[in-house]
Structure 1
Amino acid sequence: MHATLVQRASAEFLGTFWLTFGGCGSAVLAAAFPEHGIQFAGVALAFGLTVLTGVYALGPISGGHFNPAVTIGLWAGDRFSANGVLPYVVAQVAGAIAAAAVLYIVASGKPGFELGGFASNGYGDLSPGKYSLLSALVIEVLLTFFFVLIIHGATSSFAPAGFAGLAIGLALTLIHLVSIPVTNTSVNPARSTGPALFAGGQYIAQLWLFWVAPIAGGILAGFVSRSLFKESR
Protein backbone atom coordinates (compact mmCIF):
# COMPACT_ATOMS: atom_id res chain seq x y z
CA MET A 1 0.00 0.00 0.00
CA HIS A 2 1.43 3.37 -1.04
CA ALA A 3 1.48 6.33 1.36
CA THR A 4 -0.60 9.35 0.43
CA LEU A 5 1.01 12.69 -0.35
CA VAL A 6 -0.17 14.01 3.02
CA GLN A 7 1.51 11.08 4.79
CA ARG A 8 4.71 11.56 2.81
CA ALA A 9 4.80 15.32 3.43
CA SER A 10 4.14 14.71 7.13
CA ALA A 11 7.06 12.29 7.27
CA GLU A 12 9.26 14.91 5.62
CA PHE A 13 8.13 17.50 8.18
CA LEU A 14 8.99 15.18 11.06
CA GLY A 15 12.27 14.04 9.55
CA THR A 16 13.46 17.58 8.89
CA PHE A 17 12.33 18.62 12.38
CA TRP A 18 14.42 15.78 13.82
CA LEU A 19 17.45 16.65 11.70
CA THR A 20 17.31 20.35 12.60
CA PHE A 21 16.54 19.89 16.27
CA GLY A 22 19.05 17.09 16.77
CA GLY A 23 21.84 18.57 14.69
CA CYS A 24 21.46 22.25 15.55
CA GLY A 25 20.47 21.35 19.09
CA SER A 26 23.78 19.56 19.57
CA ALA A 27 25.55 22.76 18.52
CA VAL A 28 23.43 25.18 20.55
CA LEU A 29 23.06 23.07 23.71
CA ALA A 30 25.70 20.36 23.95
CA ALA A 31 28.61 22.18 22.32
CA ALA A 32 28.09 25.30 24.42
CA PHE A 33 30.27 24.14 27.30
CA PRO A 34 33.99 24.77 26.61
CA GLU A 35 35.21 22.12 29.07
CA HIS A 36 32.60 19.43 28.54
CA GLY A 37 31.05 20.25 25.16
CA ILE A 38 30.98 17.84 22.26
CA GLN A 39 32.78 20.28 19.91
CA PHE A 40 32.85 19.97 16.11
CA ALA A 41 33.21 16.19 15.97
CA GLY A 42 30.23 15.66 18.24
CA VAL A 43 28.05 18.05 16.24
CA ALA A 44 29.07 16.28 13.02
CA LEU A 45 28.12 12.92 14.51
CA ALA A 46 24.80 14.31 15.75
CA PHE A 47 23.80 15.47 12.27
CA GLY A 48 24.76 12.10 10.83
CA LEU A 49 22.77 10.25 13.47
CA THR A 50 19.64 12.31 12.85
CA VAL A 51 19.67 11.38 9.18
CA LEU A 52 20.58 7.75 9.81
CA THR A 53 17.76 7.25 12.32
CA GLY A 54 15.29 9.36 10.35
CA VAL A 55 15.90 7.49 7.10
CA TYR A 56 15.24 4.12 8.71
CA ALA A 57 12.18 5.33 10.64
CA LEU A 58 10.51 7.59 8.07
CA GLY A 59 12.20 6.66 4.81
CA PRO A 60 9.73 3.84 4.11
CA ILE A 61 6.97 6.48 4.02
CA SER A 62 8.54 9.42 2.17
CA GLY A 63 11.94 8.26 0.97
CA GLY A 64 13.66 10.18 3.77
CA HIS A 65 14.79 13.31 1.94
CA PHE A 66 14.58 15.88 4.80
CA ASN A 67 16.33 18.39 2.56
CA PRO A 68 15.14 20.48 -0.43
CA ALA A 69 18.47 19.94 -2.19
CA VAL A 70 17.96 16.17 -1.96
CA THR A 71 14.38 16.37 -3.21
CA ILE A 72 15.34 18.58 -6.15
CA GLY A 73 18.45 16.49 -6.83
CA LEU A 74 16.40 13.30 -6.94
CA TRP A 75 13.95 14.99 -9.30
CA ALA A 76 16.87 16.09 -11.52
CA GLY A 77 18.09 12.49 -11.53
CA ASP A 78 14.66 11.23 -12.63
CA ARG A 79 14.15 9.50 -9.30
CA PHE A 80 11.33 11.67 -7.96
CA SER A 81 8.10 13.03 -9.44
CA ALA A 82 7.88 16.77 -10.17
CA ASN A 83 4.46 17.05 -8.55
CA GLY A 84 5.92 16.07 -5.19
CA VAL A 85 8.74 18.62 -5.14
CA LEU A 86 6.82 21.65 -3.83
CA PRO A 87 4.88 19.78 -1.10
CA TYR A 88 8.10 18.16 0.10
CA VAL A 89 10.05 21.43 0.16
CA VAL A 90 7.26 23.26 2.01
CA ALA A 91 7.05 20.46 4.58
CA GLN A 92 10.83 20.40 5.02
CA VAL A 93 11.09 24.15 5.58
CA ALA A 94 8.15 24.09 7.97
CA GLY A 95 9.75 21.24 9.93
CA ALA A 96 13.04 23.11 10.22
CA ILE A 97 11.34 26.32 11.39
CA ALA A 98 9.29 24.40 13.96
CA ALA A 99 12.43 22.68 15.24
CA ALA A 100 14.28 25.99 15.53
CA ALA A 101 11.34 27.45 17.46
CA VAL A 102 11.32 24.58 19.96
CA LEU A 103 15.12 24.75 20.25
CA TYR A 104 14.88 28.46 20.99
CA ILE A 105 12.34 27.81 23.77
CA VAL A 106 14.63 25.20 25.33
CA ALA A 107 17.88 27.15 24.91
CA SER A 108 16.47 30.43 26.21
CA GLY A 109 15.58 28.72 29.49
CA LYS A 110 19.24 28.81 30.52
CA PRO A 111 20.30 31.78 32.69
CA GLY A 112 22.43 34.21 30.71
CA PHE A 113 21.29 32.81 27.38
CA GLU A 114 22.62 34.72 24.37
CA LEU A 115 21.15 33.99 20.95
CA GLY A 116 24.32 34.57 18.93
CA GLY A 117 24.39 32.76 15.61
CA PHE A 118 22.02 30.05 16.87
CA ALA A 119 23.76 27.38 14.74
CA SER A 120 23.11 29.40 11.58
CA ASN A 121 25.26 29.23 8.47
CA GLY A 122 27.40 32.05 7.16
CA TYR A 123 30.46 33.26 5.31
CA GLY A 124 32.92 36.09 5.94
CA ASP A 125 32.44 37.43 9.45
CA LEU A 126 29.67 34.88 10.06
CA SER A 127 31.85 31.89 9.12
CA PRO A 128 33.30 30.05 12.15
CA GLY A 129 36.71 30.25 10.48
CA LYS A 130 36.04 33.58 8.70
CA TYR A 131 36.12 31.91 5.26
CA SER A 132 35.20 33.95 2.19
CA LEU A 133 32.03 33.88 0.10
CA LEU A 134 33.90 31.98 -2.63
CA SER A 135 35.12 29.34 -0.16
CA ALA A 136 31.58 28.91 1.17
CA LEU A 137 30.09 28.67 -2.31
CA VAL A 138 32.59 26.07 -3.50
CA ILE A 139 32.36 23.83 -0.46
CA GLU A 140 28.56 23.93 -0.27
CA VAL A 141 28.14 23.06 -3.96
CA LEU A 142 30.81 20.36 -3.84
CA LEU A 143 29.67 18.66 -0.65
CA THR A 144 25.99 18.75 -1.59
CA PHE A 145 26.92 17.27 -4.96
CA PHE A 146 28.61 14.30 -3.30
CA PHE A 147 25.89 13.96 -0.66
CA VAL A 148 23.14 13.70 -3.27
CA LEU A 149 25.30 11.47 -5.47
CA ILE A 150 25.81 9.12 -2.51
CA ILE A 151 22.05 9.06 -1.96
CA HIS A 152 21.49 8.15 -5.62
CA GLY A 153 24.08 5.39 -5.42
CA ALA A 154 23.10 4.01 -2.02
CA THR A 155 19.46 3.70 -3.09
CA SER A 156 20.17 2.28 -6.57
CA SER A 157 19.86 -1.36 -7.53
CA PHE A 158 23.67 -1.55 -7.57
CA ALA A 159 23.79 -1.13 -3.79
CA PRO A 160 23.08 -3.88 -1.24
CA ALA A 161 19.58 -3.52 0.16
CA GLY A 162 19.05 -2.14 3.64
CA PHE A 163 22.28 -0.16 4.00
CA ALA A 164 21.30 3.16 2.42
CA GLY A 165 20.57 4.87 5.73
CA LEU A 166 23.99 3.96 7.08
CA ALA A 167 25.81 5.30 4.02
CA ILE A 168 23.78 8.51 3.99
CA GLY A 169 24.22 9.15 7.71
CA LEU A 170 27.97 8.57 7.60
CA ALA A 171 28.26 10.78 4.52
CA LEU A 172 26.57 13.66 6.34
CA THR A 173 28.87 13.14 9.33
CA LEU A 174 31.92 13.37 7.08
CA ILE A 175 30.53 16.46 5.36
CA HIS A 176 30.17 18.22 8.72
CA LEU A 177 33.66 17.19 9.82
CA VAL A 178 35.03 18.93 6.73
CA SER A 179 32.88 22.03 6.50
CA ILE A 180 31.77 23.19 9.95
CA PRO A 181 34.76 25.58 10.13
CA VAL A 182 33.88 27.04 6.71
CA THR A 183 30.12 27.63 6.78
CA ASN A 184 28.90 25.81 9.91
CA THR A 185 27.69 23.32 7.27
CA SER A 186 24.44 23.67 5.42
CA VAL A 187 24.08 21.35 2.40
CA ASN A 188 20.40 21.74 3.29
CA PRO A 189 18.37 24.93 2.66
CA ALA A 190 15.66 23.97 5.16
CA ARG A 191 18.16 23.36 7.98
CA SER A 192 19.68 26.78 7.19
CA THR A 193 16.37 28.62 7.11
CA GLY A 194 15.03 27.61 10.53
CA PRO A 195 17.92 28.88 12.69
CA ALA A 196 18.56 31.94 10.47
CA LEU A 197 15.03 33.24 11.06
CA PHE A 198 15.79 33.37 14.78
CA ALA A 199 19.36 34.65 14.48
CA GLY A 200 18.07 37.39 12.15
CA GLY A 201 20.02 40.26 10.63
CA GLN A 202 23.06 39.27 8.61
CA TYR A 203 22.24 35.58 8.88
CA ILE A 204 19.03 36.16 6.95
CA ALA A 205 20.90 38.37 4.49
CA GLN A 206 23.33 35.53 3.77
CA LEU A 207 20.66 32.83 3.59
CA TRP A 208 20.45 33.08 -0.21
CA LEU A 209 23.79 31.29 -0.56
CA PHE A 210 22.56 28.33 1.48
CA TRP A 211 19.66 27.89 -0.91
CA VAL A 212 21.51 28.50 -4.16
CA ALA A 213 24.67 26.44 -3.51
CA PRO A 214 23.06 23.25 -2.13
CA ILE A 215 20.37 23.20 -4.81
CA ALA A 216 22.99 23.72 -7.53
CA GLY A 217 25.03 20.83 -6.11
CA GLY A 218 21.95 18.63 -5.86
CA ILE A 219 20.86 19.31 -9.44
CA LEU A 220 24.36 18.61 -10.74
CA ALA A 221 24.44 15.30 -8.85
CA GLY A 222 21.04 14.41 -10.27
CA PHE A 223 22.19 14.96 -13.83
CA VAL A 224 25.42 13.01 -13.29
CA SER A 225 23.50 10.11 -11.73
CA ARG A 226 21.30 9.77 -14.84
CA SER A 227 24.24 8.30 -16.72
CA LEU A 228 26.27 6.91 -13.81
CA PHE A 229 23.43 4.73 -12.50
CA LYS A 230 21.60 4.30 -15.78
CA GLU A 231 21.52 0.50 -15.69
CA SER A 232 19.89 0.53 -12.25
CA ARG A 233 16.64 1.91 -13.68
Structure 2
Amino acid sequence: MKKCAAESLGTFWLVLGGCGSAVFAAQAGGDSNPLGLGYLGVSLAFGVAVATAAFAFGPVSGGHFNPAVSFGLWIAGRFPGRHLPAYVVAQVVGGLLAGALMWVIVTANPDFLSFGGAGTFATNGFGNFSPGGYPMEVAFLAEAVLTAVFLCVILAVTRPRATAGAAPLAIGAALALIHMISIPLTNTSVNPARSTAVAAFVGESAAYMPMHQLWLFWLAPCVGALAGALVYRYVNSERAEAA
Protein backbone atom coordinates (compact mmCIF):
# COMPACT_ATOMS: atom_id res chain seq x y z
CA MET A 1 0.00 0.00 0.00
CA LYS A 2 2.86 2.41 0.76
CA LYS A 3 4.40 1.73 -2.64
CA CYS A 4 1.09 2.36 -4.40
CA ALA A 5 0.59 5.54 -2.40
CA ALA A 6 4.06 6.71 -3.44
CA GLU A 7 3.27 5.96 -7.09
CA SER A 8 0.02 7.93 -6.86
CA LEU A 9 1.72 10.90 -5.23
CA GLY A 10 4.58 10.86 -7.70
CA THR A 11 2.26 10.67 -10.70
CA PHE A 12 0.10 13.42 -9.21
CA TRP A 13 3.16 15.67 -8.96
CA LEU A 14 4.38 14.77 -12.45
CA VAL A 15 1.02 15.62 -14.03
CA LEU A 16 0.48 18.74 -11.94
CA GLY A 17 4.02 19.99 -12.50
CA GLY A 18 4.25 19.18 -16.20
CA CYS A 19 0.71 19.55 -17.48
CA GLY A 20 0.00 22.32 -14.99
CA SER A 21 2.90 24.32 -16.37
CA ALA A 22 1.56 23.82 -19.88
CA VAL A 23 -1.99 24.82 -18.94
CA PHE A 24 -1.36 27.71 -16.57
CA ALA A 25 2.03 29.13 -17.46
CA ALA A 26 3.01 28.31 -21.04
CA GLN A 27 1.32 31.40 -22.46
CA ALA A 28 0.88 33.56 -19.39
CA GLY A 29 0.84 37.20 -20.37
CA GLY A 30 -0.89 36.81 -23.72
CA ASP A 31 0.54 37.05 -27.21
CA SER A 32 3.57 39.04 -26.14
CA ASN A 33 4.23 36.28 -23.61
CA PRO A 34 6.30 38.31 -21.14
CA LEU A 35 5.68 35.87 -18.30
CA GLY A 36 5.05 32.58 -20.09
CA LEU A 37 7.25 29.51 -19.90
CA GLY A 38 6.84 28.72 -23.57
CA TYR A 39 7.81 25.52 -25.33
CA LEU A 40 11.23 25.14 -23.70
CA GLY A 41 9.91 25.98 -20.26
CA VAL A 42 7.20 23.33 -20.40
CA SER A 43 9.74 20.73 -21.54
CA LEU A 44 11.97 21.57 -18.60
CA ALA A 45 8.98 21.55 -16.24
CA PHE A 46 8.22 17.92 -17.10
CA GLY A 47 11.86 17.01 -16.52
CA VAL A 48 12.01 18.80 -13.18
CA ALA A 49 8.69 17.28 -12.11
CA VAL A 50 9.78 13.69 -12.74
CA ALA A 51 13.21 14.27 -11.19
CA THR A 52 11.82 15.77 -7.99
CA ALA A 53 9.13 13.08 -7.78
CA ALA A 54 11.81 10.42 -8.16
CA PHE A 55 13.93 11.96 -5.40
CA ALA A 56 10.89 12.23 -3.12
CA PHE A 57 9.07 8.95 -3.75
CA GLY A 58 11.51 6.77 -5.68
CA PRO A 59 13.09 5.28 -2.54
CA VAL A 60 9.66 3.92 -1.57
CA SER A 61 8.22 2.61 -4.84
CA GLY A 62 11.04 2.73 -7.38
CA GLY A 63 9.68 5.92 -8.92
CA HIS A 64 7.87 4.66 -12.04
CA PHE A 65 4.98 7.18 -12.22
CA ASN A 66 4.12 5.78 -15.65
CA PRO A 67 2.28 2.56 -16.65
CA ALA A 68 4.55 2.11 -19.68
CA VAL A 69 7.64 2.33 -17.48
CA SER A 70 6.24 -0.23 -15.03
CA PHE A 71 5.42 -2.52 -17.96
CA GLY A 72 8.89 -2.09 -19.46
CA LEU A 73 10.62 -2.73 -16.15
CA TRP A 74 8.61 -5.93 -15.80
CA ILE A 75 9.67 -7.06 -19.28
CA ALA A 76 13.27 -6.25 -18.39
CA GLY A 77 13.06 -8.39 -15.26
CA ARG A 78 13.41 -5.42 -12.89
CA PHE A 79 9.86 -5.43 -11.52
CA PRO A 80 7.59 -8.29 -10.36
CA GLY A 81 4.57 -8.78 -12.59
CA ARG A 82 2.27 -9.44 -9.65
CA HIS A 83 2.61 -5.77 -8.66
CA LEU A 84 1.99 -4.39 -12.15
CA PRO A 85 -1.83 -4.02 -11.99
CA ALA A 86 -1.72 -2.24 -8.62
CA TYR A 87 0.98 0.15 -9.82
CA VAL A 88 -0.94 1.00 -12.99
CA VAL A 89 -4.13 1.69 -11.03
CA ALA A 90 -2.23 3.84 -8.54
CA GLN A 91 -0.57 5.84 -11.32
CA VAL A 92 -3.84 6.46 -13.15
CA VAL A 93 -5.56 7.52 -9.93
CA GLY A 94 -2.76 9.92 -9.08
CA GLY A 95 -2.87 11.41 -12.55
CA LEU A 96 -6.65 11.80 -12.47
CA LEU A 97 -6.47 13.60 -9.13
CA ALA A 98 -4.02 16.08 -10.63
CA GLY A 99 -6.21 16.45 -13.72
CA ALA A 100 -9.24 17.10 -11.52
CA LEU A 101 -7.40 19.78 -9.56
CA MET A 102 -6.24 21.46 -12.77
CA TRP A 103 -9.77 21.35 -14.21
CA VAL A 104 -11.27 22.95 -11.10
CA ILE A 105 -8.69 25.73 -11.26
CA VAL A 106 -8.76 26.38 -14.99
CA THR A 107 -12.55 26.38 -15.34
CA ALA A 108 -12.75 29.12 -12.70
CA ASN A 109 -11.62 31.35 -15.56
CA PRO A 110 -14.76 31.91 -17.68
CA ASP A 111 -12.66 32.62 -20.77
CA PHE A 112 -10.94 29.25 -20.76
CA LEU A 113 -13.82 27.25 -22.24
CA SER A 114 -14.10 29.66 -25.16
CA PHE A 115 -10.77 28.40 -26.50
CA GLY A 116 -9.86 25.05 -27.94
CA GLY A 117 -7.68 23.31 -30.44
CA ALA A 118 -4.70 21.00 -30.50
CA GLY A 119 -2.99 20.67 -27.15
CA THR A 120 -5.59 22.58 -25.14
CA PHE A 121 -5.61 21.51 -21.47
CA ALA A 122 -2.29 19.73 -22.21
CA THR A 123 -4.09 17.00 -24.16
CA ASN A 124 -2.26 14.71 -26.57
CA GLY A 125 -3.50 14.00 -30.06
CA PHE A 126 -2.86 13.27 -33.70
CA GLY A 127 -4.29 14.60 -36.94
CA ASN A 128 -6.33 17.71 -36.20
CA PHE A 129 -5.44 17.34 -32.52
CA SER A 130 -1.68 17.28 -33.09
CA PRO A 131 -0.07 20.71 -32.49
CA GLY A 132 1.71 20.34 -35.83
CA GLY A 133 -1.08 18.47 -37.61
CA TYR A 134 0.89 15.20 -37.77
CA PRO A 135 -1.01 12.02 -38.74
CA MET A 136 -1.68 8.96 -36.61
CA GLU A 137 1.23 6.96 -38.07
CA VAL A 138 3.77 9.64 -37.18
CA ALA A 139 2.29 10.07 -33.71
CA PHE A 140 2.47 6.33 -33.05
CA LEU A 141 6.05 6.08 -34.30
CA ALA A 142 7.22 9.07 -32.27
CA GLU A 143 5.56 7.93 -29.06
CA ALA A 144 6.86 4.37 -29.41
CA VAL A 145 10.45 5.31 -30.28
CA LEU A 146 10.76 7.99 -27.62
CA THR A 147 9.31 5.70 -24.95
CA ALA A 148 11.76 2.98 -25.99
CA VAL A 149 14.70 5.36 -25.58
CA PHE A 150 13.28 6.61 -22.28
CA LEU A 151 13.06 3.05 -20.99
CA CYS A 152 16.65 2.33 -22.04
CA VAL A 153 17.82 5.41 -20.15
CA ILE A 154 15.89 4.37 -17.05
CA LEU A 155 17.29 0.85 -17.15
CA ALA A 156 20.83 2.13 -17.67
CA VAL A 157 20.86 4.68 -14.86
CA THR A 158 19.18 2.36 -12.34
CA ARG A 159 21.43 -0.64 -12.91
CA PRO A 160 23.30 -1.86 -9.80
CA ARG A 161 26.66 -0.35 -10.82
CA ALA A 162 25.25 3.04 -11.87
CA THR A 163 26.29 6.22 -10.07
CA ALA A 164 24.27 6.45 -6.88
CA GLY A 165 21.84 9.36 -6.74
CA ALA A 166 22.21 10.35 -10.39
CA ALA A 167 19.22 8.44 -11.74
CA PRO A 168 16.50 11.07 -11.08
CA LEU A 169 18.57 13.78 -12.77
CA ALA A 170 19.30 11.64 -15.82
CA ILE A 171 15.67 10.53 -16.10
CA GLY A 172 14.47 14.12 -15.74
CA ALA A 173 16.90 15.31 -18.42
CA ALA A 174 15.76 12.54 -20.76
CA LEU A 175 12.09 13.42 -20.28
CA ALA A 176 12.79 17.11 -20.87
CA LEU A 177 14.60 16.29 -24.13
CA ILE A 178 11.76 14.01 -25.21
CA HIS A 179 9.35 16.93 -24.78
CA MET A 180 11.62 19.25 -26.73
CA ILE A 181 11.47 16.77 -29.62
CA SER A 182 7.82 15.81 -29.61
CA ILE A 183 5.61 18.59 -28.25
CA PRO A 184 4.96 19.72 -31.85
CA LEU A 185 4.08 16.15 -32.85
CA THR A 186 1.69 14.89 -30.17
CA ASN A 187 2.07 17.35 -27.29
CA THR A 188 4.18 14.52 -25.83
CA SER A 189 2.79 11.66 -23.83
CA VAL A 190 5.18 8.69 -23.41
CA ASN A 191 3.01 8.11 -20.33
CA PRO A 192 -0.54 6.69 -20.51
CA ALA A 193 -1.43 7.96 -17.04
CA ARG A 194 -0.46 11.52 -18.02
CA SER A 195 -2.59 11.35 -21.17
CA THR A 196 -5.59 9.89 -19.35
CA ALA A 197 -5.32 12.47 -16.57
CA VAL A 198 -6.23 15.34 -18.89
CA ALA A 199 -8.27 13.57 -21.58
CA ALA A 200 -10.76 12.34 -18.98
CA PHE A 201 -11.86 15.89 -18.23
CA VAL A 202 -12.33 17.19 -21.76
CA GLY A 203 -14.09 14.08 -23.10
CA GLU A 204 -15.45 13.95 -26.64
CA SER A 205 -15.21 17.40 -28.13
CA ALA A 206 -14.43 19.13 -31.38
CA ALA A 207 -12.32 21.60 -29.42
CA TYR A 208 -10.12 19.14 -27.50
CA MET A 209 -8.55 15.75 -28.09
CA PRO A 210 -11.46 13.29 -28.32
CA MET A 211 -11.39 10.29 -26.03
CA HIS A 212 -11.36 7.95 -29.01
CA GLN A 213 -7.75 9.01 -29.68
CA LEU A 214 -6.60 8.01 -26.19
CA TRP A 215 -5.92 4.40 -27.24
CA LEU A 216 -2.80 5.50 -29.15
CA PHE A 217 -1.32 7.07 -26.04
CA TRP A 218 -1.67 3.78 -24.19
CA LEU A 219 -0.65 1.43 -26.98
CA ALA A 220 2.32 3.30 -28.47
CA PRO A 221 4.14 3.92 -25.14
CA CYS A 222 3.62 0.29 -24.11
CA VAL A 223 4.92 -0.96 -27.47
CA GLY A 224 7.89 1.37 -27.08
CA ALA A 225 8.53 0.20 -23.52
CA LEU A 226 8.48 -3.41 -24.70
CA ALA A 227 10.96 -2.63 -27.48
CA GLY A 228 13.19 -0.60 -25.17
CA ALA A 229 13.30 -3.35 -22.55
CA LEU A 230 14.14 -6.03 -25.12
CA VAL A 231 16.83 -3.90 -26.75
CA TYR A 232 18.40 -3.05 -23.42
CA ARG A 233 18.38 -6.68 -22.33
CA TYR A 234 20.05 -7.71 -25.58
CA VAL A 235 22.73 -5.00 -25.41
CA ASN A 236 23.34 -5.58 -21.72
CA SER A 237 23.78 -9.33 -22.22
CA GLU A 238 26.20 -8.65 -25.07
CA ARG A 239 28.29 -6.43 -22.76
CA ALA A 240 28.22 -9.04 -20.04
CA GLU A 241 29.46 -11.72 -22.41
CA ALA A 242 32.19 -9.45 -23.75
CA ALA A 243 33.35 -8.67 -20.23
Q: Is 1:39–2:38 an aligned residue pair?
A: yes
Residue number in structure 2 paired with 1:154: 157
Residue number in structure 2 paired with 1:199: 202
- TM-score (norm: length of structure 1): 0.94
Residue number in structure 1 paired with 2:171: 168
- Where does 1:25-104 land on structure 2 (aligned, <5 Å)? 25-33=20-28, 34=31, 35=33, 36-104=35-103
Structure 1 letter corresponding to 2:126: Y
Q: Deviations over 1:116-170 (max 9, x none)?
A: 3311100000000101111101100000000011000000134211100010000
Q: Is 1:12–2:4 an aligned residue pair?
A: no
Identity %: 50
Q: Is 1:120–2:120 an aligned residue pair?
A: no
Structure 1 letter corresponding to 2:131: P
Q: Is the 8 A contact 1:78 1:226 kept in 2?
A: no
- Residue 228 of structure 1: how far off its partner (Å): 2.4
Q: Is the 8 A contact 1:31 1:39 kept in 2?
A: yes
- Residue 106 of structure 1: how far off its partner (Å): 1.1
Q: Distance in 1 between matches of 2:69 and 2:128?
A: 28
Q: Distance in 2 between matches of 1:229 and 1:47?
A: 28
Q: Is 1:220–2:220 an aligned residue pair?
A: no
Q: Deviations over 1:184-224 (max 9, x none)?
A: 00000000001001121152110000000000000111112
Residue number in structure 2 paired with 1:209: 216
Residue number in structure 2 paired with 1:137: 140
- Residue 31 of structure 1: how far off its partner (Å): 1.1
Residue number in structure 2 paired with 1:3: none
Q: Higher mean Cα deviation, 20-29 or 216-225? A: 216-225
> Equivalent residue of 1:160, what SS?
coil
> Equivalent residue of 2:125, what SS?
coil
Name structure 2 gaps, 5 residues minimum: none
- Residue 176 of structure 1: how far off its partner (Å): 0.2
Q: Distance in 1 between matches of 2:62 and 2:235?
A: 21
Q: Is the 8 A contact 1:156 1:229 kept in 2?
A: no
- TM-score (norm: length of structure 2): 0.90
Residue number in structure 2 paired with 1:110: 109
Q: Higher mean Cα deviation, 219-228 or 47-56? A: 219-228
Instruction: Provide the aligned C-alpha RMSD in A.
Output: 1.4
Name structure 1 gaps, 5 residues minimum: 1-5
Runs of 4+ in 1 over 6 A off after TM superposition: none
- Residue 108 of structure 1: how far off its partner (Å): 1.5
- Residue 95 of structure 1: how far off its partner (Å): 0.7
Q: Deviations over 1:4-57 (max 9, x none)?
A: xx0000000000000011111001100133313111111100100010000011
Q: Distance in 2 between matches of 1:157 and 1:63?
A: 13
Residue correspondences, number:
227
Structure 1 letter corresponding to 2:133: K
